[in-house]
Structure 1
């Protein structure tokens, strides 16, 4: 194997950047999680508590999820879930660059949970981050993307009021979705491929569904490198039913 100095230096700089990004992420998250910060500072804290706290920050473990009832499993390649009514904080963008709109929407919502709301209240991160997609009428037409964070249980009854234009709290009614799960670092091509696979499975099984709008969902921090969880959701019934 030929030793390549340029690649070696590049790899080391990538590792250094990852390390400092990770530390920054931990620092700023602990700043809004006093209970974790206290545990990490306390000299009597056990190693297991410390590892669990860091794991929550870096690897999205221990985050609240929206409640759902699992339906009878009829196939190996998808599942059926009925999501309970709940409040989500959301923002909507229109255009043709799905990934860029999701990043913009995520930043708006992350600012909201960091305290950029009329109550100046910090809200815990939850999972998944969902994107409700209303496809455009044709290949050269704009689509609509609504990015959402589930609001934790403690804020369901009285969520902080958004202060940034374009950010709103929505009440999602109960809905049933067919869900396909896949791994890796998701991108537009993967989402499209997984959605098509799910639609083919539903046609194969002759079940009732609507092909649009649909949802994509991501559960993991970018710092989680393995066992990542992504999903596509197809609704059983039209949203106005």
Structure 2
């Protein structure tokens, strides 16, 4: 199934002038497959004030001008990522930028640290207990793994930013997780992925319902995960590498699910590299 005709984002190769524009931005298009939360948050109010020429079109408000500047900025960034940012992402992008500048602290998904394995002062992995909780989830299958993540991510952002039964911004939680599946040998990722957002504590008892019928609210059971941090891009190559690295480090990898894993993405605009984790799920 393809979603490109529904206002989603595409990772199509671009040609002509757009292709030259993407190439002029360096190699980012080959290293990253999607616009992430870090991208959205890293665009500060100072940059917003500096962008554009500061002139308003006739009948345009300051808020609309800022929204247009943000959208145009991320459409430019998106071309470097080979991602098309649709027009209807303008308001969600503005809300994420505004609310995450200190007005809405990001809420961490709660867990209990059970144990930690270290070597020479470095953390190899942690064992954590996550309690049951409600997540907003969308499962997507596109032509490529990166397309699937991109489409699902945009849908979840719209849900967080007003396209829900409360009609308001719900607040950001971290990490945003992606459930991925591999073949038996851990060499290939399935194009089918599930992108999931943990509902903030004040919405856990009565989760706001999504307007988008492809997003479902699920209650995930309490789960033990083995988790290892990594930095940088989250694409098929890096994820497969991290899965195999983690499998080698685990004392008893057979206790974990063998073909389903989670990539957890954390927002950290101040960091030079993206902060991520790979999660192995303990068998029930």
Same fold flag (TM > 0.5): yes
Structure 2: runs of 5 or more not aligned: 1-23, 26-42, 52-65, 72-91
What's 2:112 paired with?
Answer: 69
Indicate the SS of the match to 1:101: helix
Distance 2:93 2:263 in 1: 29
| Deviation, structure 1 residue 200 | 1.1
Aligned residues of 1:199 and 1:211 also touching (Cα < 8 A) = no
Per-residue CA deviations over 1:179-236 (Å, capped at 9, x if unaligned) read 010112332211111111001112xx23522222111111126x55525310110111
Q: C-alpha displacement at 1:151, in angstroms?
A: 0.6
The 1:31–1:100 alpha-carbon spacing in structure 2 relative to 1, beyond 3 Å, is: closer
Work out the CA distance in 1 between the residues paired with 2:143 and 2:182. Answer: 9
TM-score (norm 1): 0.70
Runs of 5+ unmatched residues, structure 1:
1-9, 12-17, 34-52
Question: CA distance change for structure 1 residues 72 and 27 in 2, over 3 Å: closer, same or farther?
Answer: closer
TM-score normalised per structure 2: 0.61
Are 1:94 and 1:143, in contact at CA under 8 Å, matched by a contact in 2?
Answer: yes
Aligned length: 198
**2:190 is the alignment partner of 1:147:** no
- Per-residue CA deviations over 1:65-122 (Å, capped at 9, x if unaligned) read 1111111223431111111111111100124512111111011111011111233232
Matches of residues 161-172 of structure 1 in structure 2 within 5 Å? 161-172=209-220
Q: 2:143 matched to 1:100?
A: no
1:232 maps to which residue?
278
RMSD of aligned residue pairs (Cα, Å): 3.2
Deviating 4+ runs (over 6 angstroms): 137-141
